[in-house]
Amino acid sequence: MRPDLRRGTIATLLTLSLVMEGAVAVAQQHEPPARYQSAYARPLPIDRGSVGLSQTLQKLHTRASLAMVTAHPDDEDGGMLTYQSRGQGVDTTLLTLNRGEGGQNVMTSDYWDQLGTLRTQELLAAGNYYGVHQYWTRVADFGFSKSIEEALKTWGEDRVLYDAVRVIRMQRPLVVTSVFAGNVSDGHGHHQVAGYTAQRVYAMAGDPKVFPDQIKAGLLPWTPLKVYARVPFARVTEKGIYDYATGHWEPVRFRNYVTNTWIEGVPSTTLEIPSGTYNPMLGFSYLQTSREGLNQQKTQMGGIAIPLPRPVTTPYHLYASRVPSSEHEKSFFDGIDITLAGIASYAPKAEQASWREKLNALNETVDSALSSFNAEKPAAIAPTLAKGLAQTNALLDEVAKSKLSAEARYNMTHELRIKQQQFNLALEQSLGLTLLSNTSDGAPSSGRMGPMGDMSTQIPTSQTVVPGDKITVAVHVANQGTEPVSLSAIDVVSQAGQGFTINPQSSSTGELAPGAARDESFNVVVPSSAELTKPYFSRPNLEQPYYNLDDPRYLNLPTRPYPLLATATVTYHDVAIKLTGVVQTVHRINGEGPVLEPLLIAPAISLSVSPYAGIVPINDGDLDLHVSLHSSIKGPAKGTVRLDLPQGWKSTPEVANFSTMREGEDQNLTFKVQPERVEAKPYTITAVAEFNGEKFTQGFQTVGYPGLRPYPHYRPATYRTTGVDVKTASDLRIGYIMGTGDDVATSLADIGIHPTMLSAGEIASADLSKYDAIILGIRAYAARPELKTFNNRLLDYAKNGGTVIVQYQTQEYDHDYGPYPLTLSSDPEKVVEEDNKVTILAPNDPVLNWPNKITTADFNDWVEERGHGFMRKWDSHYIALTEMHDTDQDPQKGGLLYARYGKGAYVYMAYAFFRQMPDGVPGSFRIMANLISMGKNPGLALGKDAAPASASGN
C-alpha cells in the first residue's frame, strides 16, 4: 500500500460533493430517504410464528445496532451478521459498495450490468437468512483491482464516501465493522476500499460539515461509537504479507485510517464472534444458517455446502472507540449502554432521569413478554406486546411534543421507531396475522376462500402490466391465531408515481375471529405516467465505473420499489397493527407449482437488438441486425419497426411491420444493413418501434435463473459497431465447446463464422476432423466433465491436423490436458489493467501475420481487463507470442501460447475475449480470426508433421 495514502480531505470532499451527479437532486428532496419494502411474498420459515417471535423478542430487548461494509456480494461475514441479528437481537445493516458486475458467472450468460442485477437479487435472498437491512453505493465493479489507490481513483473517493456516509446517517448504527482492513491482505483493491470506508465513515458521518447537502435533505450527522474489522487472514511469513493481487510480499503493517497511524504486525484479536453456536429454535448454528444464505449466491461458485456443526469463531480487531474499551472484549457493544433506557442518553443530562424511567417501564414490558413466552402458545403474550406498542407510541408522541433539541428528538425518534416496528412484527407473529396480495382474474376460484382461491387452483396472472392497463388486485388477510382482532382497513397504494385509480369492490372490515380470513378485491387503473419497474440507475458505457442516478430518490436502495403495495390495519387491545405486502403475480412452474413474483410495470412494446455490440468488416460491409420485439399488450398489437441508421446507410426492409396476437408474444425481425461506406470508426444503429402513436427505443431482459427471483434489466435498443479491417481464411468450419457461458460464439457471426455447438456425445464420438478449429469456452474444464474423460479426443484431433483453441481456464485445467505440460498453479496470474503496454514477442510469427497483421494497436480500447488464467510455466514446445503486465507485476508471457502438435496446433489463450468480443473490441476479432485460420495459414503449413520445437518456453 502506498505509505502516503491519507485520509480523505474534508474540504475537497465538501467541494466535490456539491457537484456530484445526483447529489443536488438528493438534497432537493427535503423528505426522508425512501425505504425498501421486502418483495418476498412470505417470510422464511425461521421468521414465522414462534421461531420468528423468539428472535423479535430478543431485538425488542436491546437498542444495539451494527453496520458492516463490504465490497461485493458474497464478501460479507454471514456467520457474524446472523449471530448478531438472530442471536443477539442487533439491528443489523449490510452496506455493499458494488453489485459484482465485473465478476464471473457460472449460472447464466449474463455479464456486466445484467450480472449486477442478478447478484443484487442473490444478495437480497442471502440477506433474508442473515436477517439484515441492505444498502448499496452507486459504484460499479470494474473488475479485479490490484490496489486501493487504483480503486479509489477509478471510483472517485468522494463518491464512495458520500454514499457510505449517507447510509450511516440513515441507519445510525452504534458500531461499524468490515470484513476488510484496508490492507493488501484483503485480496484486492475493492476489498481494501471497503475496509478503508468503514473506518472513514466512523470518523466522518458525525461531522455536519461533511456532505452538508445530506443534512439539508433531512438527515442529521451520526457518530458511531466503535469501529472494527475482521482480523486479516493473510498469508504471513518471514517474507512479509503475500499480496495475492500482485504476487509480491509486503511489510506486515496495517494502517489505522481513523488515527492515520500504523499497526506493526497483524492486528490483535479484540473479540471472537462465536458464529458456530447452535440455536435450537433455528435448528442450525448461526454459521450454518448463514451458509444457507450464501448458497443463494450461485453465480460465482454454483452453490456451496452447509458446513458440519462444530465450534467456529471469527476474530475482530477494534480500530477506534469513543467509549471505554479493553484489550479483550466479549461483544462489539462492550462499554455501550444498549438497554432501552440508553435511548435517554440523547437528552440533556438534567432530563435523562425522567426519560429513563419511562424507557425502563417499556423494558419491563419486554421482560414480561420474554419471561412469559411459550412457543406452543405465542398468543399468550400478545396483550403484553400490545401494551408495549402503546407505550412506544406514547413515547414517540411525547418526544415529538418535547422541547428537546432537534438532534435529540431525531435520534430518540429513530430508535423508538425501530422499537415500534419490532413490536408491530412481534404482534403479527404472536397473533398469527398474515397478509398476502396478488393480481387476480377477478373471479372466485371454485367458490373457495374468495378471489384468492386456495393457490393450488389460482389462474396464472401476467407478471407485467403496461401504463393504461386495468387490473384486479386481491388482498387476503388471515387471523391464524387464537385471539380475536378487528380488521380496520385494507388498501392498495402506489409506489410507482401518482395518478393510479384504486377502488375497492366492497368493504371487508370488521371483527376477525380466530381462524377467520377476509378477502378484498380492488379495481386498479395504471396511469399513462406510471413509473416503469426498472433499475433507478444506469451508465452510458462499461468504461464508466459508476452509475448515474436516473431517480435520485432511491439512492442506496437495492432496487426501485415494486409498483403496488397492499396494506391492512388490524386493531388489537386498542393498538393498530400494520400489515404490508408487495402485490404479487402468480405463475405455475412445472415441478414447483404456483410461484409468486412481484408485479412489474413494463412498456407496451420492448425492443432489443442482438448482439448489442460488434464489428463490421470494412471489406464486406453488409451486416444482419436481429431485432427482438416483445409485446406486453393484453391483446393484439400492430405497428412498425425501423432502424435509425448512420447517414447514407440503408436497410432491407426499410420498415418492418409487426403484428402480435397476445401479451407476452415475441417477434424476431431481421434487417440487412447496407452501409454506403464502412470506415475504421464507430457507428450506432437504433431500432425504433411505433405503436399507438408512441415510439419505443428500449427493451428489458428478465435476469435470473430457476430458484432466484427475476428482475428486469433494461437496455437501449442500440447496436454499437466499428468498422474493422479483418479477414479470415475461406470456408472455415468451427466447432465450439461452451464452458460456463459466454457470447464469443455469437460474436463470431460478425466475421462470417457460425460455429457448431458440440454436445458431450459429439465430443465423445463424432467425427471432429470436419472442423478447421475447435474453440473451448471459458472454464470449460470446470463445467464440462466430459472434457476430462475425452481429452485425448481433442489431442488426437489436433495431432491429425486440427486446431484446438482453449480460452482461459481455472485450476481444474491444471492436470496436463495440453499436448505438452502447462502450469496455471493454485493462484493463476491475471492482468487487469486493460490499457497497459503490450509487447509482441514474436512479430514475425506466422500466427500474428496471416490473414491479419497483428500489432500492438490490436490491444487498444480493451474493456475491464486483459485476461485471467495466465500460464505460469509451459513446456518449450509452446511459443509465447505476447507479454503484458500490470503496474509492479512481473512480466506475463503466458497469455497467448501455441504449440505445433503432430499435423495440427494447440492454443491456450488467457485473454478475456468473452468480454472483448461481445463489446465489439476490434483487436479481439482480428486476433481470433488469425487463430481460427491457423489450419490454412500458409506460413504454418499445418497438415504436415511438426518439426522439432525451436522456440523457448518459460
pLDDT reported for residue 27: 43
Write out pLDDT tens, residues 271-310.
Answer: 999 999 999 999 999 999 999 999 999 999 899 999 999 9
Q: Give per-residue pLDDT as tens, 155-192.
A: 999 999 999 999 999 999 999 999 999 999 998 999 99
Provide φ and ψ at 151, rounded to 5°.
Answer: -65, -45
- Per-residue pLDDT reduced to its tens digit, 51-88: 999 999 999 999 999 999 999 999 999 999 999 999 99
Beta strands in 725-813 (DSSP E): 734-737, 756-757, 773-776, 803-807
Question: Measured between alpha carbons, how far is residue 261 from residues 203, 226, 254, 316, 320 in Å?
Answer: 14, 17, 9, 19, 12
CA distance 39 to 509: 25
What integer pLDDT is reported at residue 950 of this predicted model? 41
Q: Is residue 69 within 8 Å of 164, Cβ to Cβ?
A: yes
**Alpha carbons 604 and 696: distance in angstroms, whole number:** 9
In the chain the first and final C-alpha atoms are separated, in Å, by 30
Whether the CB-CB separation of 769 and 802 falls below 8 Å is answered with: yes
* Cβ atoms 675, 621 nearer than 8 A: yes
Helix (H) or strand (E) holding 588: strand 584-589
Can you read off the three cell numbers belonging to residue 802? Answer: 486440427
- Give residues with Cβ within 8 angstroms of 936, minimum separation 6: 729, 730, 732, 772, 942
pLDDT at 235: 80
Q: Residue 946 — very low, low, confident or very high, per pLDDT cuts 50/70/90?
A: confident
Angle at CA of residue 763, ends 760 and 766, nearest 5°: 115
Give the model's pLDDT for residue 12: 38
Residue 841, SS3?
coil
- 3-class state of residue 188 by DSSP: coil
Alpha helices (H) along 373-434: 382-401, 406-431
Alpha-carbon distance 294 to 283, whole Å? 17
Report the pLDDT value the prediction gives residue 556, as an integer from 0 to 100.
98
Give the mean pLDDT of 566-594.
95
How far is the C-alpha of 651 from the C-alpha of 447, rounded, in Å?
Answer: 56
Is the distance from CB of 38 to CB of 582 less than 8 angstroms? yes
Calpha distance 913→927 (Å, rounded): 10
Better pLDDT: 829 or 790: 790
Mean pLDDT of 501-512: 93
Average pLDDT over residues 216-243: 93
Residue 189 φ then ψ, to 5°: -60, -40
The pLDDT tens digits for 645-687 are 999 999 999 999 999 999 999 999 999 999 988 999 999 999 9
- For residue 861, what is its C-alpha cell? 480500447
| pLDDT classification of 118: cutoffs 50, 70, 90 | very high
Confidence grade of residue 529 (pLDDT, cut at 50, 70, 90): very high
Q: How many CB atoms lie within 10 A of CB 359?
A: 25
What is the model's pLDDT at position 191? 97
- Residue 459: what pLDDT? 82
Q: Which residue has the higher pLDDT, 31 or 256?
A: 256
Q: What is the mean pLDDT of residues 366-378?
A: 98
Q: What share of the chain is helix, strand, coil (3-state, %, to 5)?
A: 30, 30, 45
- pLDDT tens column, 699-726: 999 999 999 999 999 999 999 999 999 9
- Model pTM above 0.85: yes
pLDDT of residue 588: 87
Which band of pLDDT confidence, cut at 50, 70 and 90, is reported for residue 18?
A: very low
Q: Is the model's pLDDT at 524 over the cut of 80?
A: yes
Q: How many CB atoms lie within 10 A of CB 785?
A: 11
**What are the φ and ψ backbone dihedral angles of 773, each rounded to 5 degrees?**
-155, 150
User: Looking at residues 229-238, what average pLDDT do you find?
Assistant: 89
d(CA 293, CA 708): 12
Q: With beta carbons less than 8 A apart as the criterion, state whether 152 and 110 touch.
A: no
DSSP H or E run through 645:
none
Q: Which residues contact 346 (CB under 8 A, 6 or more apart)?
A: 404, 407, 408, 411, 412
Does 7 score more than 80 pLDDT?
A: no
Nearest by Cα to 613 from 716, 495, 473: 716
521: which strand partners?
474
Q: Which residue has the cell 450461485?
A: 298
Chain center to CA of 683? 31
- What pLDDT is recorded for position 454? 56
Beta pairing class for 175-178 and 226-230: parallel
Q: What pLDDT sits at residue 19? A: 37
SS (H, E, C) 209-250: CCCHHHHHCCCCCCCCCEEEEECCCCCEECCEEEECCCCEEE
pLDDT for 411 beyond 90: yes
Q: What pLDDT does residue 144 have?
A: 87
CA distance 424 to 438: 23
Q: Tell me the average pLDDT across 31-56.
A: 90
Q: 43-77 burial, b if ≥16 CB within 10 A, otherwise e?
A: bbebbebbbbbbbbbbbbbbbbbbbbbbbbbbbbb
Mean pLDDT of the 827-838 span: 90
From 79-88, 434-443, 493-502, the region with the lowest mean pLDDT: 434-443
Give the pLDDT score at 681: 93
Tens-digit pLDDT profile for residues 586-625 = 988 888 889 999 999 999 999 999 888 999 999 777 889 9
Cα–Cα distance between 702 and 118 in angstroms, integer? 9
List, for residues 313-334, the tens digit of each pLDDT value.
999 999 999 999 999 999 999 9
Q: Does 443 have pLDDT greater than 60?
A: no
**Cβ contacts of 120 within 8 Å, gap of 6 or more:** 73, 99, 136, 558, 559, 711
CB 925, CB 852: distance < 8 Å: no
Higher pLDDT, 355 or 954: 355
Residues 459 and 179: their CA atoms lie apart, in Å, by 46
Q: Are 299 and 107 in contact (CB under 8 A)?
A: yes
Amino acid at 641: V
pLDDT band at 450 (very low <50, low <70, confident <90, very high): very low
For 464-484, write each residue's pLDDT tens digit: 999 999 999 999 999 999 999
Cβ atoms of 520 and 504 within 8 Å: the answer is yes
pLDDT of residue 456: 53
φ, ψ dihedrals at 714, nearest 5°: -100, 150
Predicted pLDDT of residue 51:
98
Whole-angstrom Cα distance, residue 271 to residue 268? 9
The pLDDT-based confidence of 32 (bands split at 50, 70, 90) is low
Residue 742 DSSP class: -
**pLDDT over 70 (residue 374):** yes
In the block, residue with C-alpha cell 430518540: 412
Asked if pLDDT for residue 312 goes beyond 70, the answer is yes
Q: How many CB atoms neighbour CB 651 within 10 A?
A: 17
What is the largest distance, in Å, between two alpha-carbon atoms of the chain? 96
